[in-house]
């Protein structure tokens, strides 16, 4: 088994203005331990990098290889699943932190038998170039989708788009434009501009005049065009995304039976799948979407 050492622990750096930022550089031994555990269970995990950015690679696809089970007395392979037989999660991350920080989420999907594609948006993170406008973020997300479709032959009905925070924008846009793919909106807004005004009311004029053009994400509108299964996760302690924004998403759910609401006892950050109740709700959603394929 081989996983690129992209899965790191955080390190704090200080800017010239005295502001502390978080970057991700060093290998986390906990990841090595988890890889060793998965290897002992007979799982093969490979990582391929895509989306070149100069000398950097901004995206990684992690696929489950052969699942091997052993008899204690006579070790032998009894089952084999090629990577294309597993469903795939395309994770659209939040702003301000790079994808290696999502290692727990990555392995939560892998343990559920779901391959993972995860990437950094251009201009976000310490090793990317360009500017992160809504249009360019959508292009990055579309690039990942085309890679999964053309190179990995992943069908839309076997694909879950996970949009966390700002990632809800490109995730909903992608799911609205491609029929059949499934969508998880994880602590995200209904309309980005409205959410920004709610947080910074004194900047309302500036936000409406400029931000609406730069970050013109409208999840509520796009949600009506999604044809796959949909789940919305609301963190009960979320101070960034208001109940009003979540309710607007709920009100704009298409009139289909496959929508599910997940309520987790978390803030805007944090791993809500650690909670048994939230995890069970998530598993139910995956089962209805026929994406749940636990590896053991």
Distance of alpha carbon 55 from alpha carbon 52, whole angstroms: 7
pLDDT tens digits, 60-112: 888 886 443 333 344 443 334 444 568 999 999 998 788 878 888 988 998 89
Distance of alpha carbon 157 from alpha carbon 199, whole angstroms: 36
pLDDT tens digits, 131-174: 778 888 998 899 999 989 988 899 999 999 999 999 999 999 99
- 86 Rama sector, left if φ>0, alpha if ψ -120 to 50, beta otherwise: beta
pLDDT tens digits, 37-55: 656 655 566 666 666 665 5
**8-14 vs 20-27, strand pairing mode:** antiparallel
Q: Would the pLDDT of 11 be above 70?
A: no
Distance of alpha carbon 84 from alpha carbon 68, whole angstroms: 16
Return the CATH number of the domain spanning residue range 83-288: 3.40.50.1820
C-alpha torsion angle, residues 272, 278, 284, 290 (rounded to 10)? 0
Smallest Cα–Cα separation from 164: which of 137, 189, 127, 142? 189
pLDDT tens digits, 186-216: 999 999 989 988 888 888 888 777 766 678 8
pLDDT range class, residue 13, cuts 50, 70, 90: very low
Distance of alpha carbon 3 from alpha carbon 173, whole angstroms: 30
The pTM for the full model equals: 0.79
């Amino acid at each position: 088994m081989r996983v690129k050492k992209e899965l790191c622990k955080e390190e704090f750096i200080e800017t010239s203005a005295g502001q502390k930022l978080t970057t991700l550089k060093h290998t986390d031994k906990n990841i090595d331990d988890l890889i060793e555990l998965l290897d002992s269970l007979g799982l093969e995990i490979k990582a391929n990098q895509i989306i070149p950015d100069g000398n950097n690679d901004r995206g990684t696809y992690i696929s489950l290889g052969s699942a091997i089970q052993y008899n204690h007395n006579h070790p032998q392979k009894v089952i084999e699943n090629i990577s294309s037989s597993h469903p795939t999660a395309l994770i659209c991350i939040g702003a301000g932190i790079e994808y290696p920080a999502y290692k727990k989420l990555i392995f939560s999907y892998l343990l559920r038998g779901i391959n993972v594609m995860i990437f950094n948006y251009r201009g976000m993170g310490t090793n990317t170039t360009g500017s992160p406008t809504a249009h360019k973020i959508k292009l990055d997300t579309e690039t990942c989708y085309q890679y999964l479709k053309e190179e990995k032959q992943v069908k839309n009905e076997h694909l879950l788009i996970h949009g966390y925070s700002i990632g809800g924008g490109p995730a909903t846009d992608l799911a609205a434009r491609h029929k059949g793919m499934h969508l998880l909106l994880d602590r995200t807004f209904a309309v980005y501009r409205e959410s920004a005004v709610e947080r910074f009311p004194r900047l309302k004029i500036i936000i409406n005049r400029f931000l609406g053009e730069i970050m013109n994400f409208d999840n509520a509108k796009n949600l009506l065009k999604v044809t796959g299964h949909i789940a919305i996760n609301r963190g009960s302690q979320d101070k960034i995304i208001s109940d009003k924004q979540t309710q607007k998403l709920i009100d704009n759910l298409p009139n289909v039976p496959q929508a599910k609401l997940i309520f987790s006892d978390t803030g805007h950050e944090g791993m809500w799948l650690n909670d048994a109740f939230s995890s069970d709700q998530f598993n139910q959603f995956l089962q209805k979407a026929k994406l749940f394929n636990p590896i053991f």
